[in-house]
Amino acid sequence: MANSFPFSLVTPERTLMRCDASMVILRTGGGDIAFMAGHAPFIGNLEPCVMTVTTSDGETKRAAVHAGFVHVANSVVRVLADVAELPDEIDVERARAAMVRAEETLMHSNDAGVEAALRRAHVRLDLASTRSGNGSR
């Protein structure tokens, strides 16, 4: 399809998504960005976010990505994530507990690692809150 492109979401352990997509939205160090067919070549670092993928048949897929890179070349979009999770993989209670621990720790220090943990917990909870039978919104 002329308005779609190959997309993949890969971590060191596995491939989480591979499909033809019409749009991918995620957050890089430069801010939120959307990729569509014909996007210019691009390399960017990933910020913790809920990535949204619209497949060529109109299905919406979402994943929490926590760090890594996005690479666009030759009409192919690849997300290479250090850590990524699908909606059904989120342990909500564990994410809530991590958020509470990070918030309590931040009240007493300005640790960048704790701030990153808090962002990851928020991303997980955001993704889990949109979970339905098929992970679509």
For the stretch 4-16, pLDDT in tens is: 999 999 999 999 9
The pair of three-digit structure tokens given for residue 28, joined into one six-digit string: 């890089």
Bridge partner residues of 67 (DSSP): 83
Label residue 131 exposed, middle or buried (CB < 10 Å: 0-12, 13-18, 19+): middle
Instruction: Work out the pLDDT band at 92, boundaries 50, 70, 90.
Output: confident
Query: CA 130, CA 109: separation in Å to the nearest integer?
Result: 32
**The tokens 């926590």 sit on which residue?**
66
Q: Are strands 49-55 and 76-85 parallel, antiparallel or unpaired?
A: unpaired
Q: At what angle do helices 112-129 and 92-106 cross, to 10 degrees?
A: 150
Residue 102 has pLDDT above 90, yes or no: no
Report whether 129 contacts 86 (CB < 8 A).
no
For the chain, the average pLDDT equals: 85
Question: What does the radius of gyration of the chain's CA atoms come to, in whole angstroms?
Answer: 15
Instruction: Work out the pLDDT band at 57, boundaries 50, 70, 90.
Output: very high
Q: Compare 12 and 99 and report the one with higher pLDDT.
A: 12
Q: Compare 76 and 121 and report the one with higher pLDDT.
A: 76
